Structure 1
Amino acid sequence: MSLPRDGLPAEQVLEEIRALRAADRPTHGGRLFAYVYDPGLPGLDALAQSAHEESAHVNGLDPTAFPSLLAIENVLVGAAATLLGGGPETVGSVTGGGTESLMLAVKAARDGAPSRQPRLVVPATGHAAFAKAAHYLGVALDVVPVSPQTLRPAVADVAAAIGPDTVLVACSAPSYAHGVVDPVAGIAAAAAERGVRCHVDACFGGWTLPYLRRLGVDVPPFDLSVPGVTSISVDLHKYAYAPKGVSVLLHRDADLRRPQYFAYADWPGYPMVNPVISSTRSGGPIAAAYAVLRHIGDEGYLALAARTWEAVRGLAAAVSAVDGLRLVAPPESTVVCFTSDVLDIFVLADELAARGWHTQPQFAYGELPASIHLTVTPSVAPRVGEFGADLRDAAAAARAAGPVSLPPVPLDAPLPALLAALGVGPGGLPERMATINTLLNAAPPAVREALLVDFLGHLQRPAY
């Protein structure tokens, strides 16, 4: 689509955006169990939008020019440090999201302990962003297997993976896929014994775990109060309910943070110093996060965590009540993950989508089965009964339909032929995804990655 010769009226442009948005999944209302975090609080979106507008054109590149943004970031870091066991020496940075926080944790560790062949130790359930960080930063990845029963790594296995070139050991609180907390205390102790940093990825659930503990949930130690934990990350655009994208990366002290920075003065322009990956940063999301945190407050987050936990327990009970379904792990955070030994899990996901519930299918990994992931938020609580009834109906329909059959096209077929066989046309994905998910589930990870790259490249074409 080329630019119009003359500018369009503002309302016409907004109507175009609304028309495009009509194809999106619903971001509110408790029917989308991934990607978005809806507290169900009236007026919160309007507050965040107003705060975003106030600072949208403020540039985080230079805090001396825009001290308001520096002050807001320091408040956000202080709130995260207070919640996550920080002490008087704790420092932090506001980043654009969890992936950036993890990449910076890896960079700080790599540059803080120089090695010719730096290595990162991470459990198999660690977020894929660790692999991305290792790839971008030239760090070798040592993946530690997890128990199929507990979905956690053994501390002894993590300790055995630490070598002379290990610069960072990572763990999750909780893991995204299954919502379980790794044995952080043991892993951090093993890292400290070898003089290696330990990062806790609490991007997904770090803002809820302290509140769940206050509600009586058995949450193991996981934050900066644990000896040996040197850094921790938490996303404010998840369970702090700020607009995307705002995350916080905390370090135990300033010396640990220093290698995270990038400075360059050997050129004719302005001297560059960046605490995060981006140079220019809009103040809009950061100001919106500030407004949301200040508006909800500590007791508000406690109430939201209670409502979320109520929904988690209700959804887990609904899954357990359906013949043929089982929980992958007992819920201990804000995730309900389930699978089946008798039903095609991808057909089940399609049946739930046909009933208006948008879940996140997950592929098999080693001994871990394919599963359906539900990210649970407070807005789900009023819908638990409705979901349970639809889940029973969807399971019955999946049982009657049986598993899908893959088209007789080899995985190495030309992309147009493969897409046509899978029902992917010019308009994008088909309504039902079971065949595509079954094919991807059957493919080795390297083939799966290549297919996904080719498919995304197929979708991302200029609109003229």
Structure 2
Amino acid sequence: MSLPKDGLPAEQVLDEIRALRTADHPTHGGRLFAYVYDPGLDGLDDLAMAAYALSAHVNGLDPTAFPSLLAMENALVGAAAGLLGGGPATVGNVTSGGTESLMLAVKAARDAHPEIERPRLVAPVTAHAAFAKAAHYLGVALDLVPVSASALRPAPEDVAAAIGSDTVLVACSAPSYAHGVVDPVAGIAAVAAAAGVRCHVDACFGGWTLPYLRRLGVQVPPFDLSVPGVTSISVDLHKYAYTPKGVSVLLHRDAELRRPQYFAYAGWPGYTMVNPVISSTRSGGPIAAAYAVLRHLGDSGYLALTAKTLEAVRELAAAVSRVDGLRLVAAPESTVVCFTADLFDVFVLADELAARGWHTQPQFAYADVPASIHLSVTASVAPRVAEFGPDLAAAAEAARAAGPVALPEVSLDVPLPELLGALGFGDGIPERMAPVNALLNAVPPDVREALLVDFLGYLQRPAL
């Protein structure tokens, strides 16, 4: 894109954006089971955007200049602490998302031990990939604890065996993203505490629903700051708190644990930089929008939304169990329904669901954990569940009739445009992704990573 010489009328620019948005998956309506979180409430988007606009130009770099943002951030942290077992000493910060929250938890643990030359992080293989990203960025070695395909969660004794003298942090999930399984946090935190090591609970995905699920009668194991040995926990408000994107909260049990999270630098002629999070300049828009949504929905609103989500989860799981050849990878423990196919190709099934207007998230096989379809279930799904069951059955029948997808007969060593052409990429992403997913599922993880890096780099090129 080149800049127009004289600028365009505002409505024309908005029309351009509207036209571009027609290619996107629907963010509302309960048919997209990943990436976005829709409560299905009229007027909530308008409230959030109005609050966003009020604070979009406020800069979180200096809270003494913009105390409104400091007050709203502290309010969000307080709400999260109250929900997640925090006490009077609990402190925290708002970050841009779960990845930043996890990176800062790793940074705080690393920097609390400057005497350790090669710090290490212990995490189950089911932990979010953001832990691997944090370890990579921060120069921390990653020690992965295996899980079985039946349990999908680590045993505390295996975590204990992985802890060494250079371990600075132990991580666990509540729940894990891929399968929605809650790790044995109490046992893991106990072995971490016995070793004198911090324990972070990644509740980015489920932290805003698990407390409400417990109040609705679901058996939720202990997982938050009320558990002895848990030193920090993270929760994304832009997931099940239903705020606009860009808001997560990282909590520490006390201020001393948080202190290494900060970055300060006075060795230059400008202002002394002091940052609690990775960004320096931070727009107040996302924080104000989150503040408005939380204040508007309140405790009773979130309880009602969680009840609707729980109903949808149970009905979706039942729909899966009714289809011959499908089985749940794990019994639902939170807001995830994850299933696999034993009699037909799961990637073909995902395509057949997409053809019927249901956009799911295929997941590749890992060790002895099979390839699967992941559904992140939100409150907006509840009114659509009755439609999903028959479509799932029809999609399964079509996948069974189609048979397994044939791997593309193409060398991975050819130039990327030629490879993409062989995979069906012409002027855009093909409607049927099963051949692509089958190929990615068949290659080793490091090859998959390289292919996807090249593919994303191919897409992210400006039209000059």
TM-score if structure 2 supplies the norm length? 0.99
Higher deviation after alignment, 108-117 or 206-215 = 108-117
Letter of the aligned partner of 1:90 in structure 2? T
In the aligned structure 2, how far is the partner of 1:412 from the partner of 1:144? 33
Query: What's the C-alpha RMSD, in Å, of the aligned pairs?
Result: 0.6
By how many angstroms is 1:285 displaced?
0.5
Q: Using the alignment, how far apart are the partners of 1:458 and 1:25 within structure 2?
A: 21
Structure 2, unpaired ranges of 5+: none
Counterpart of 2:187 in 1: which secondary structure?
A: helix
Partners of 1:360 and 1:373 within 8 A in 2: yes
**DSSP-derived class of the 1:179 partner:** coil
Residue in structure 2 matched with residue 21 of structure 1 by the alignment: 21
1:113 aligns with 2:113: yes
1:39 partner SS = coil
SS in structure 2 of the partner of residue 338 of structure 1: strand
Match of 2:178 in 1: 177
- Is 1:48–2:58 an aligned residue pair? no
CA distance in 1, matches of 2:461, 2:283: 27
d(CA) in 2 for partners of 1:251 and 1:358? 36
Looking at structure 1, the residues matched to 171 and 58 of structure 2 have their Cα atoms a distance apart, in angstroms, of 34
> Identity over aligned residues, as a percent?
83
Instruction: Summarize deviations over 1:357-408 as a string: whole Å, max 9, x none.
Output: 0000000000000000000001100111100010000000000001111221
- How far does residue 37 in structure 1 lie from its aligned partner after superposition? 0.4
The aligned residue for residue 372 of structure 1 is: 373
- In the TM superposition, 1:338-353 aligns within 5 A as 338-353=339-354
Q: 2 CA distance for matches of 1:419 and 1:285?
A: 37
Q: What is the 5 A alignment of 1:154-169? A: 154-169=155-170
In 1, Cα distance between the equivalents of 2:366 and 2:399?
Answer: 22
- State the distance in 2 between where 1:113 and 1:387 align: 51
Aligned to 2:270: 269
Matching of residue 287 in structure 1 with residue 288 in structure 2: yes
Shift of 1:430: 0.4
| Alignment partner, residue 457 of structure 1 | 457
Amino acid at match of 2:209: T
Q: Are 2:241 and 1:237 equivalent residues in the alignment?
A: no
| C-alpha separation in 2, matches of 1:294 and 1:416 | 50
Contact 1:428–1:459, Cα closer than 8 Å, also in 2: no
- Per the alignment, residue 125 of structure 1 pairs with 126
Report the counterpart of residue 79 of structure 2 in structure 1: 79
Aligned to 2:307: 306
**Which residue does the alignment assign to 1:415?**
416
After superposition, the C-alpha distances for 1:279-321 in whole angstroms (9 at most, x for unaligned) are: 0000000000000000000011000000000000000000000
Partner of 2:201, secondary structure, is strand
Does the Cα contact within 8 Å between 2:86 and 2:225 map onto a contact in 1?
yes
Provide, for residues 63-120 of structure 1, a one-character-per-residue CA deviation record: whole Å limited to 9, x for no partner.
Answer: 0110000000000000000000000100000000000000000000000122100000
- Which residue is 1:88 aligned to? 88
Q: Amino acid of the residue matched to residue 199 of structure 1?
A: H
Distance 2:409 2:397 in 1: 28
What displacement does 1:417 show?
2.0
Q: Distance in 1 between matches of 2:452 and 2:358?
A: 24
Are the counterparts in 1 of residues 244 and 289 from structure 2 also a CA contact under 8 Å? yes
Shift of 1:416: 2.0
In structure 2, the residue matched to 1:197 is 198
Question: Could you state the TM-score of these two structures normalised by the residue count of structure 1?
Answer: 0.99
State the one-letter code of the partner of 1:193.
A
Q: 1: distance between equivalents of 2:126 and 2:168? A: 19
Structure 2: how far apart are the matches of 1:454 and 1:428?
16
Counterparts of 1:78 and 1:231 in 2: how far apart (Å)? 14
Contact persistence 2:59–2:281 (CA under 8 A): yes
- 1:297 equivalent to 2:295? Answer no
Offset of residue 418 of structure 1: 1.3
- Give yes or no for contact 1:170–1:201 (8 Å, CA) kept in 2: yes
Q: Which residue of 2 aligns with 1:389?
A: 390
**1:340 Cα deviation (Å)?**
1.1
- Looking at structure 1, the residues matched to 462 and 341 of structure 2 have their Cα atoms a distance apart, in angstroms, of 41
Return 49-58 or 410-419, whichever deviates more: 410-419
Find the aligned partners of 2:404 and 2:454 in 1 and give their Cα distance.
26
Q: CA deviation at 1:134?
A: 0.3
1:3-55 per-position Cα deviation (integer Å, ceiling 9, x unaligned): 00001000000000000000000000000000000001110000000000000
Matched with 2:104 is 104
Which of structure 1's runs of 4+ aligned residues deviate more than 2 A? 410-414
Quick check: 2:408–2:439 contact (8 Å CA) kept in 1? no
* Aligned pairs, number: 463
Gaps of 5+ in 1: none
Deviations 1:435-461 (A, max 9, x none): 000000001000000000000011011
